[in-house]
Structures are given as structure tokens and as C-alpha cells.
Structure 1
């Protein structure tokens, strides 16, 4: 496979009579290209060629296993076209490396699958759920965006949808953000579907085990495939349903070229195969809402009275004069009295309390105590942090160098202050505020899966919140400004997603559950949490982006590279007439550089914006231009990202 852009096309080779039986479309082969042996896939067999000149011979067939199926090949072509990438790069994401010993093992053929009856009691709370289940049992292409209720056991609900599809004789592909979610959905699914018919694919598996499981999917033994982002390409036979859970999680965005998002690939696949699809989550992204607004998918939500019954009580900082008189320090304190009171009440009632802190570590950012200038490393200008209370000096978060003596470059002061307080420092502060109370921390490399129902303070970073037996009595959402104040297109959307993921672990308001968010109650994102209205927030977010011309209302390409290379690419590209150029802007020193670009020198970003209907034209123009510049060899490499997750 050649990932060089100007060589992203088919090449013809001759096949010997001895190779003919094994050299079938979809198998791995080795060919000689430009004097060296490279791996490739056979796309099709022909009796004649359009090539003018002498053809080379196929060197050998690596394996007779047809690993590139027609459906996956079509999907690879579509993803490469959608994201202006090369098919070789997409194939590396779609097909795992071969493991010869695994291929030699005797394959287990497909066996009859037993599926337990699906109880619809929980789904009856959602409008149109019965119609959706009827559609997937009939093999129709129903598409839905499911809004999970607070406290909902999402893995059980998705397992029920999958079981109904498998019972109808079709395959299911479920994509989740991380290994914890894979384990949760696998555990829920084996209660309804034979374990032999389930396969879990994730990056944590070893090469042999991953390839063994992937082959079982290819050979038709697996009816339900659960995996992280790369599993979206799994060759599930007779695919009837594609599930995506929590599509707002950054883990679903591929960090390697051509940078596809698992949600978009899943929806492309559902469209190509005309199968059912469901996107689910406690919150909702603007992209998912755009699917509903366009009519491609329909809402699967519970009535408002049911939502109010299931949701915890959410309180925030009041902005009235009376509130200011009652607690003058509420708007400046990190832990105002309303948050302390919520925690104290839950602990007195014998229940654990969840404390969500946006940053891990002790003190992840420092600044000058006199002039408030951010403290930076003298070697790489990276931000400095304190790893623990007894640290001898500050540590750079970029290069890892220790700075034993700090002095502000602006005013010369040697006194520093914390800009952001991490989870470990927060746990230390809470231990002093609530003496005698057990304090548990979860985050980073030390994630706690679950805690008991005993009184305790559980300090966790977003995504690492343990599940409490019987639910938390209260949750404190601290440092809201650190989430809402980020200069990011998805800051508000991502903040609400993280808050709701924590709040859904809290008991309902009828059981005394309280969520205290330390932020102004007038902030729209806080209001959406108080009302528990992720759909309304997503609709408002989508409308706001439409108004200012940001994805998903438009398609946008980010072109990163050396200034000369970026300018050359855009000059070469035959952009649509509707294309609008924005920039250039200089990327910060710590920004990730395109592969092959030297560490020294400036890096620019140009944004190219087109209407929603012109997205494929934009990708095709940039793809062709990248190939032209690649053939010239006169410019540094440029990175092209279509609809990047983070624009700025």
C-alpha cells in the first residue's frame, strides 16, 4: 500500500497460473513497485488491461484470505473521498495487520444463535421506540438519535436493541468511545445473546488476539461486534444495525490521516448498506441534531414529565441581589456554601458525593503571583505545573524538564500562584474541609470503576467517574470556567456532555439527589443542565453555528503546514466557486505538525469553507491538489483535515 498521494490509484499486474486460484479480489499480495517490494490488495481480476507498456508480475500471494470485502472496499473509497485522504491510509485503519499463525488455526463455523426475549418495559418510556423496534425486526432502514434518560443503564438498552436485530437474523455493529464502555456493553449483551456470537474489538488487545477476533467477524461467526473507533470498519456479515454511543467523545475522532470521525463513518456505512442506525447519549451533539433536523434520523426521547421525574435537582449560583447579600463570596469561592451544603447533606444521609474536577494532577498550571503572567518553560515555552505538594520545582508539561528556580520573565517576581487546581489538590482540600470522611480519587492512570454506597467524597476527572452503588447523593461540578472558557468551537457542547455524564450518576430528585454546578445560573449551558434539556441545547448550538458559518452547518477544511506549502496547495486546488478562504493564522509552538515537517519554522493554518452541498467537491479538489504537489516534490507536506473536531 502506497500512502503517497499522487500514487493513490490502481496498478495492473500479471498473475501466473500457479497463483491464479489464490489471487482473488480482496486478498493480500506482494508486488514489486519502483524496485522494491510492497504490500497490496487485489481489487479485481481482468482478462485485459488498459495499460500501455510492459506489465510486471505479481510477486506472491501473502494469504488467500479475502480480507477486503466488497462492502468494506466501498466504505474505504467513500471515507477517502469524504476526508480528502488516500485509500492506503484508510485501509490501514480498516484492516488489522496479518498474523500468520492465527490464519492457520481451524476456523469455527457460524453456529445457531440463541437470543433471550427482549423486555420492552424500559423502552416504553421513549416515544416511537416501539416503531423503531418493529422496523429493525422487519429489516427496514430506521435511523434514530436516542436521548438516554438520567440514570439510564445505557448498556442494557443498547444490548436490547442489538438482541432484537440479531434475533431478526441480521448483524450488529456497536461503536463506543473506550474500553470501559466496551466492557460494559459486552457484559450487558451476553445476558441476552450467546457469548460465542459476540466479539469485542479494541486497541488494548494483542496483535494475535485482535486478528483472531477480527477473522471471526470476517468469517461470519460474530453477529454482534462491539468496539472502539477503528471497529467501525469491521466486516460484519449482513449488517442490519449500526450503533454509536456518546458521539461527542473526542476518542471517536481518529488522530491519524485522513482523520475520520467514527460517527460519520458509521452513518456513511448505514447509508451505503441501507441498514438501521442509532446514535445515543445522555447529551447531544450539533452533528446528531443536524441529522434529526434534516430528516435522515428521528428523535427517540422521553416525555418531559418522565425526564423531570428521573433527573436530579440541579442548583447553580444565583445572580440576584438577595443571593449576593446572603453569600457575598459565592461568586469568587471555588467551593461556595451551596456546594458545601449539598455535599454535607448527602454525607449526613449516608451517601457518597461525586466531585468533578476538569483537570487531573496537583497544580497543572502556574502563573506569576504579582502580574498573573503564565509561567512557561525556558527551553520550549511549555506550561509549567506542580506534580505534587512536596515537589522540589515546577515541571514542564511539554518537554518534562524540571525548573527548580522560577522567576517571572515579565516582572522578575519569584512568587507563583495556581491558575488551575487539579484533582489531587482538590482531594487534599476536601479532606481538610470534611475531616474523618473517606476521600477517593479517580483519573489518569488510576481510574476507579465503582464505589460502595458508604459516605465518601469521590474526586474524579471527566470520563473517570466511578459508578456508585445506588447512586450518588450529590455531585459537585467545580471549575466550570475551565470548561466553558476554552477557546474551542465545541466548548459549550462538550461541557454539557461532561456535566450530564456526571449528573446521571446521581439519584433522582425524588430520592434526594442534588447536582451543584459552580457557575452562573444565567449561562445557557447551565440552564440546559438545570432543565435537563440536551435537545434544546443542541438545537440552539446548531442554529448558532449556522448563523456564523461553522460545521455542521457548512463543511470546512483546515490546511496546516509551512506558509509556502499551504499557499501552493490552495493555488493548485480548483476550489468550488462558493469556497471562502479564512486566514492564515499562526499555530502555537506546541501544535502538532504535519508528518514530515521539520520541528523548526512557522506553521500556518488556512480554513476553507463551503456550503453543506459542496463538501465532496471541496474534498475532491484538495485531494487532487495534494497529489499534484506530492508529484512535484518541491514543497513540504501539508495536513488536510475535513471538518476537524477542534477548529480553535
Structure 2
């Protein structure tokens, strides 16, 4: 076994002659390309390199690049992937043979292997960490299913009707169909059936398939997968089934290991030409990939919570460059990162003009304290009179959506006397109520605070601080007797609703759980706007605007009476961006401010979190002259038994030096791993949260 190191020779000396490797232990070796370079499934960062093994003659036809194998490493058998076969080894020492081939299915394609290496390098991770995200676990029964002779489907019907209102939309599709690799950032508008974002994405995918290439669509959740698959079927690309060729497969972890692996193999074997899935599907082995699409790139579900923490948008951007495929970054809003792609010239903007935007969007009204001043004391109501009248009047024309930023009943309570936040006596977590007459419950440890007393004034009465979706639905049910009240959310009794009927009803939903009304909502109320923009995160305003636009896009246009009411004193610039329906303008201003303040995405950053000694030691090895180190500063509270809390340091470099920062950080982590340094530490490139 060997790493990537090379023995240097003095100039002029004869090069050593490599000898053919004899049989090892009496086992004959493969006559053709007898050396396999293997990525071994090892956790330590200092072992993130390729190791060489001999290929026995018995495995010559099965140990091909991309297959899963078992190899000997030290005193144990470990898993690995064959990356390539070569005639001669770089290592001059003794090699050991591959133990066995786990599966003859080459599940790791050269394109995905190259992408995984690029992702690991960009985010200062290891190749093994990325491959765990990219390749699903093997399901032997599915792999052994007898293949049937596939039947070629009818070609999709070319159409670009959903793209007609957008500048550059039709040109983008033509470029994709002709085999080009354009890169675009698209701001989607609301629309009727056939004009909505799933329809437009389906038409782009159909254009790619018509040109003879495959396509990949990555969306935040399972509901979006279903919407895209339905639109693809309408565009002439049906769901793939065994025995067919060229359809679309669904690739999501929630489907279970067997279903997911079957879909993965269909794409790998070229039976399915389109993959629609969630985060991990960004690595799907689509044959001859021509178009990659990410929908709603600002959704936090696109950020991988496991090391090395890559983001779907950036993974697909890397894939676009490596495989020369088209890329479409799409959303109702506009993330600052996507705006950066546009302003740098890396991607082109696809958007509608102002006249088209006004014709397609609903009327938006912001009920701030200034707007409600004439209401007197009633202006402080959570549902002020103008919002109540909008709800009442628009219910006659169809369903009305009410978006509430928090789930539950009353997720946070305070002392009724001094208004200090109510905290758990055991872990100091926030207390909340699950029902009107329930006992306060800790949101962290789940303990019941049956005899709670305020530590500030000794009072025992509680008052609500934040009202959740369940309490909102209860209040609206009393205000509108006889009107159906539907609640949609992950913690709701009925879960997340996919759709609601076009009949009068009040639909209360948390952000991201808004069901679709086929004919569009008659109106939408966006409550507690101040809560949505009150966070300290760098992306608070961007996220609030994205959530509001996503809900507002489900409402009918203003010409059909569609109305959106924003209730509360939210941050002024975010409010105005919603009223004007101008996500790109807001993102452009945010990007300019971040460039002035040297904040992402104008710069590259790495967050290093852990025990103080470990963080200090890791940072001391970063040899970057142009790096700026901020901190370390304490984060959180000390865990039980710890002398002090963990600390966090942020390393900042110019954007052009991001690759150098990732290399330096990766090298320092490798040294830490090799030396088995104590303490705990976690390093993350481009963290979503800096607080």
C-alpha cells in the first residue's frame, strides 16, 4: 500500500526499471492492468489518499473501476471503491491483493468520482465523506433483479410556453437542445396551470432530452419531487418503470433503501434519462448529463448537515464545469449567492420585465404600525381589522392561506407579571404550551414544569410570547365558525398537506409547508412579519423574503383579485422587496453590502469550532499570508464536566484564495489526525451561520 508520494531522482541518473509483479502467495495476478487504485473507506483525514492493490486473476473481470471491493488495511478488512486499473504501480514496495469484489456493479462512475474529489477539495473534506453522500448503500436483492428488455419511449413534445414571458428563456432552451452548456439564474413568477415553475422546469428537461442528453433536477423536499414528476409526465416524460427506457426516476432517501437503490441503478445503467430528487441526488450518475437544475437554492434543506457540508447549488456548479452541462439555478426569490453568479458573469439572468411581473403577481399590501396608526389600540392586534376584512371578503372566492412562522400551539411563554422569559428549572430551556389548558413543557428536555415559578419576581402566571400555527388555527376557527380550517406542517396532526381543494377554507401553514391550490389562493396573510426578520443570522432577511415570495406565488394574480397581506413591522428593505416583487434588486443590494463588509459570498470563510487548545493548534498550522483570523470566541455554554465552553474562530480570505484556504485547512486536519491530537474540533468551509 502507498500514498500519492513520489521518490525524486537526481537528474541524469538512469531511471529504475519496473518489474512485472509475480504471483503473491501462489495467487496468479491479472495479466492486463494488474494494479488497482482504491479509495479505501477510512475515517482519519491523513489517510485521504489512493492506495494501490494487486488484482488477482480470478477478479480480473469483476474488479473494474467503480466497483465495491474488500481490501486488507492493517489487520482488518475494509470496504473501498476501485477508482482505476493501471499496468504499473507507483509504489516500489510490496502490494497486497484485493480480497474480494463485493459487487460487480460499477456504481461509482468516473464523472461522479471526479466530482466527489472536487467537492472534497472545495470544502476541505475527504473523498470518503463525499462518497458516503453520493453512492447509496447496496441492496443486493435489487441488484440481482433480472433485467428486462427495455422499450424506447416516445420522444417528448417540445414546448417553451412557460418560458415565453422571460427574457432569455427561449434562448436558454434552444441552447440546451442543441447540446450547449448555458448557465442561468431564473426568477420564477406565479402563474396558472401550465405556467408554474414545475411546468417550466419540465419543459427545460424535455428540451434537453429531445437533444439526446440526460437531465437532473434537485428540489428541497418530496412534495416538490411529486410536482416536478407530474409536470414531466405532462411534457411527455413518464415515470420510469422496469422494462422501459428514458423515463424519469425519483431519488429520495425517504423512499426506503430498495426503492432508492432501484432508481439509482436505473440512472446508472442508462435506463432512466432524468433524475428528480432531493439533496443527495446532486451526485446521481445520469448518463450524458446535459442539464442540472436546482430549485429554490436558498432553502436550507439544500445544505448538507454532514461533513464536509457541501451545498447543492455549489455541487451542481462544479458539476456543470466538470461535465460541461447546462445549469439552471431557479427560485421565486433570489439568493445572494445566486446573484453573485450573475454579477460575476459566470451565469446569465433569466427574468421577466416589470410589466409581466405586475401582470402575474398578486397585489401585496404591508400592514406596518405606520399603516395601522389610524386603527388606534386595535393596531396592536395580531390580526388587525384590515387583515381580518381581507380574510373575510376573499373567503367567498376560494381558499385563503395564512402563513405562520412558528409551529405548535404557544412555543414560547413568559412570566405574566414581569414578562421575563419562562425557563426550565433543569436545563434552562424555553417553556411552551401544547394546548390551551396544558402544563408548560420544556422545548429542550421535554420536562413538565408543573410548579413553575419565575426566578425574577416569583410569579406563577404565564403569558404567550410567540403564537404557533395550532393556536392560530384555533383562534381563526372561533372567528370564522362554519369555515373549514386546515393546518399544514410537520408537527400538525395531518402532517404536511400536498394540496387543498378550490373551495372556501382557511389554510394555516408554516413556511415550506404551504399546500398548493389548483386554481390559486384567493388571498394570503403573512403573519408575525417582525418575527421572520428578527434573527441575527446573515441570511435572516434573505430567508424571510424567500418564504414570503414562495407563499405569495401560490396566490392568484391581482387581475383575478389575488391579495397578499403582510402583517407586522418587518425589516423595511425586505418588506419593500416583497411589495415591489423585486428579489433580484434586494439580493443585489445585499451582495454590495457584503462585499463592502467582507462577508460571504464576497469572500470565502472557514469556521473552526471546538475546544480552545485544539482550535488554537489547528489554526497555528494555517500558512496563509492573506488570511484574517477572527476570534476564537466562546460559543454556547460549557458541557457537563467541561472546564470551559467550546470556542469558534473564523478564517477569512479573498474569494480568489478560497481554494488555498481549503487546502491549508485540509492539511492541518490531516496533521491533527496523524498526530492524534486531543480535544474536539470541527471545521466547515462557507458555514451557513456565523453566529
TM-score range, shorter chain: over 0.9
Q: Is the contact made by 2:112 and 2:283 (CA closer than 8 Å) also made in structure 1?
A: yes
C-alpha contact 1:72 1:233 (8 A) present in aligned 2: yes
SS of match in other structure, 2:143: helix
Q: Once the two structures are superposed, what CA deviation does each residue of 1:379-425 show, in whole Å capped at 9, x if it has no partner?
A: 2222211111231x211112222221211222222222211100011
TM-score of the superposed pair, with normalisation by structure 2? 0.89
Name 1:587's counterpart in structure 2: 635
SS in 1 for 2:54: coil
Mapped to 2, the partners of 1:55 and 1:598 lie a distance apart of 46
Contact 1:316 1:521 in 2 (8 A): no
1:478-498 Cα distance to aligned partner (Å, 9 max, x none): 111111001111100000011
Given the alignment of the two structures, is residue 431 of structure 1 paired with residue 474 of structure 2, yes or no? no
Distance 2:482 2:523 in 1: 18
Residue 167 in 1 paired to residue 210 in 2? yes
In structure 1, distance between residues paired with 2:330 and 2:509? 24
The corresponding residue for 2:606 is 557
Cα–Cα, structure 1 residues 601 and 426, in superposed 2: closer, same or farther, change >3 Å?
Answer: same
Higher relative contact order (CA 8 A, sep 6+): 1
CA distance in 2 between partners of 1:571 and 1:284 (Å): 38
- Distance in 1 between residues matched to 2:571 and 2:283, nearest whole Å: 43
State yes or no: 1:238 paired with 2:288. Answer: yes
User: Partner of 2:688 in structure 1?
Assistant: 645
Query: 1:109–1:221: 8 Å Cα contact kept in structure 2?
Result: no
1:165-224 superposed Cα distances (whole Å, 9 cap, x missing partner): 001100101000000001111111122214332111001122122111111111111111
The structural deviation recorded for 1:645 is: 1.6
Instruction: Give the whole-Å Cα distance in 2 for the aligned partners of 1:618 and 1:216.
Output: 38
Q: SS in structure 2 opposite 1:166?
A: helix
In structure 1, the gaps of 5 or more residues are none
Aligned to 1:491: 540
* Offset of residue 351 of structure 1: 2.1
1:546 aligns with 2:592: no
Moved more, 405-414 or 69-78: 405-414
* Aligned pairs (5 A) from 1:157-306: 157-191=200-234, 192-196=236-240, 197-306=247-356
Q: Which runs of 4+ in 1 moved over 6 A?
A: 597-600
Deviations along 1:65-107, one digit per CA (max 9) or x if unpaired, are 1111111111011000000001100000011111122222223
What's the counterpart of residue 393 of structure 2? 345
Aligned with residue 378 of structure 1, among 415, 425, 431: 425
Could you tell me which of 152, 157, 177 is aligned with 1:137? 177
> Residue 614 of structure 2: SS of its match in structure 1?
helix
Structure 1's 351 and 364: CA in aligned 2 closer, same or farther, altered over 3 A?
Answer: same
SS at match of 2:287: coil
Aligned length in residues: 638
Q: Is the 8 A contact 1:143 1:277 kept in 2?
A: yes
Residue in 1 that maps onto 2:20: none
1:572 equivalent to 2:572? Answer no
- Contact 2:293/2:327 (CA < 8 Å) preserved in 1? yes
TM-score, normalised with respect to structure 1: 0.95
**Does the Cα contact within 8 Å between 2:302 and 2:312 map onto a contact in 1?**
yes
* CA spacing shift, 1:568–1:522, aligned 2, 3 Å: closer
Task: Provide the residue aligned with 2:651 in structure 1.
Answer: 608
Q: Residues 297-341 of structure 1: CA distance to partner in whole angstroms, max 9, x if unpaired? A: 111111110110111111112565xx5552123652211122112
Instruction: Give the Cα–Cα distance (whole angstroms) in 1 for the partners of residues 262 and 643 of structure 2.
Output: 43
Q: Deviations over 1:27-85 (max 9, x none)?
A: 11111112111101112223332334332221111111111111111101100000000
Residue 27 of structure 1 corresponds to which residue in structure 2? 67
Where 1:37 maps in the other structure, the secondary structure is strand
Q: Residues of 1 paired with 2:422 and 2:614: CA distance?
A: 33
Q: Distance in 2 between matches of 1:107 and 1:598?
A: 58
1:533 counterpart = 2:595:
no
Q: Secondary structure at the match of 1:623?
A: helix
Matches within 5 A, 1:58-69: 58-69=98-109
The aligned residue for residue 487 of structure 2 is 441
Residues 516 and 23 of structure 1, relative CA distance in 2, 3 Å threshold = same
SS at 1:360 equivalent? coil
Greater displacement, 510-519 / 224-233: 510-519
Partner Cα separation in structure 1 for residue 553 and residue 572 of structure 2: 20
Asked if the contact 1:317–1:331 (Cα under 8 Å) also holds between the matched residues in 2, the reply is: no
Give distance in 1, aligned partners of 2:655 and 2:148: 46
Instruction: Tell me the residue number matched to 1:99.
Output: 139
Q: Is 1:521–1:527's contact at 8 Å kept on the other side of the alignment? A: no
Larger of the two Rg values belongs to structure: 2
For residue 636 of structure 1, report the CA deviation from its aligned partner.
2.4
Instruction: Give the alignment's Cα RMSD to 1 decimal.
Output: 1.8
Deviation at 1:463, TM superposition (A): 0.9
What is the distance in 1 between the residues matched to 2:302 and 2:351? Answer: 23
- CA spacing shift, 1:299–1:633, aligned 2, 3 Å: same
- Mapped contact 2:156–2:209 kept (Cα < 8 A): no
Superposed CA offset, 1:2-46 (max 9, x none): 121011111122222112221122111111112111101112223
